[in-house]
Structure 1
Amino acid sequence: MELTPPAVSRVANSSLGMLGVLGSTTYGLEAGGVSGRVGAGLAVLGFAWLAVRGYQLGVSCASGQVTVRGFFRTRVILREAITEVTAFPALRWTSAGGRRHWTPMSALMIADGEWAGISRSKRADIARLRRWVRGTRH
């Protein structure tokens, strides 16, 4: 099961990175020195990476595990380890060693002023995730 926001929301998630690419490219083209251009080039790479990650935000559920793709990291959590799907939304889970964790799901966060259709879609995805997590409880 793939839980991703609608395409318009995915584009919005990547917009910060895209704006950074444009700004860094503009700066690099106008920079006079080598160090300014190298710095701008590195910034372009970083912002491009952020734009791609923003577009790929999502949650995948398969083979008894949840994969949460965030802006900076991807985490794989066993379904049996999950203790709660919070309203934030985030996953509360316990590692094999007994340590408690909290993993936010950026792709499913509902923003103030967000279009109603996108918010409904995210709420439905959170509900689907809750049902999927409960599916293995006996």
Structure 2
Amino acid sequence: MELSPSRGTRLANSCLGVVPAVVCTAYAVSATGPWPRVAALLAFLASAAVAVRGYRLGVTCVNTDVTVRGYLRTRVIPRDSITGITDFPAVRWTAPSGRKRWTPISAFMTSSRESVRASEAKEAAVAQLRRWVTRPKKRRRRR
């Protein structure tokens, strides 16, 4: 199961990297020395990475794990170690060492400034993830 925000929301998430990339490009064009251009290039590359990752924010659920794609990191969480999905939203889980962990789901965080339709779609995606996590696991048949 693939859960991701609407295309408009993904484009808005991507703007967190696109806008700084445009600024870096403008600065690199106007810079006179080589070091400011190198710095602008490095900042451009980082901004481009955030732009691509912002567009790809989401959650993928397969039989045995949940993959949460964020702005900076992708985390794969075994389904059996998940203890719950919070309203933040975040995945609460237990590491193999026994340590309690949580992973925020940036793709479905709501804001008071976004449209009601976008907020409802994000809340529905979180509810669908909760149902998937609490659904009984399928047992394999023995032959």
User: Is this a same-fold pair by TM over 0.5?
Assistant: yes
Q: State TM-score, norm by structure 2.
A: 0.93
Percent identity, aligned pairs only? 50
**CA distance in structure 1 between the aligned counterparts of 2:81 and 2:92, rounded to whole angstroms:** 9
Q: Structure 2 counterpart of 1:98, which letter?
A: G
Do 1:31 and 1:37's aligned partners in 2 also have CA atoms closer than 8 Å?
yes
Compute the displacement of 1:63 (Å). Answer: 2.1
Compute the displacement of 1:11 (Å). Answer: 0.5
Compute the displacement of 1:95 (Å). Answer: 1.1
Give the equivalent residue in structure 2 for 1:124: 124
Q: Structure 2 counterpart of 1:122, which letter?
A: K
Compute the displacement of 1:10 (Å). Answer: 0.3
RMSD over equivalenced CA pairs, Å: 1.2
Q: Structure 2 counterpart of 1:128, which letter?
A: Q
**CA distance in structure 1 between the aligned counterparts of 2:136 and 2:30, rounded to whole angstroms:** 58
Structure 2, unmatched stretches of 5+, are: 138-143
**CA distance in structure 2 between the aligned counterparts of 1:50 and 1:69, rounded to whole angstroms:** 12
Give the equivalent residue in structure 2 for 1:20: 20
**CA distance in structure 2 between the aligned counterparts of 1:53 and 1:84, rounded to whole angstroms:** 25
- Report 1:1-138 matches (<5 A): 1-136=1-136
**CA distance in structure 1 between the aligned counterparts of 2:127 and 2:41, rounded to whole angstroms:** 42
Do 1:80 and 1:136's aligned partners in 2 also have CA atoms closer than 8 Å?
no
**CA distance in structure 2 between the aligned counterparts of 1:89 and 1:108, rounded to whole angstroms:** 7
Structure 1, unmatched stretches of 5+, are: none
Q: Which 4+ stretches in 1 moved above 6 angstroms?
A: none
Compute the displacement of 1:72 (Å). Answer: 0.5
Q: State TM-score, norm by structure 1.
A: 0.97
**CA distance in structure 2 between the aligned counterparts of 1:23 and 1:136, rounded to whole angstroms:** 50
Do 1:5 and 1:58's aligned partners in 2 also have CA atoms closer than 8 Å?
yes
Deviation per CA, 1:17-58, whole angstroms, max 9, x where unpaired? 100110000000000100011111111101000100100000
**CA distance in structure 2 between the aligned counterparts of 1:86 and 1:29, rounded to whole angstroms:** 46
**CA distance in structure 1 between the aligned counterparts of 2:120 and 2:7, rounded to whole angstroms:** 14
**CA distance in structure 1 between the aligned counterparts of 2:111 and 2:57, rounded to whole angstroms:** 15
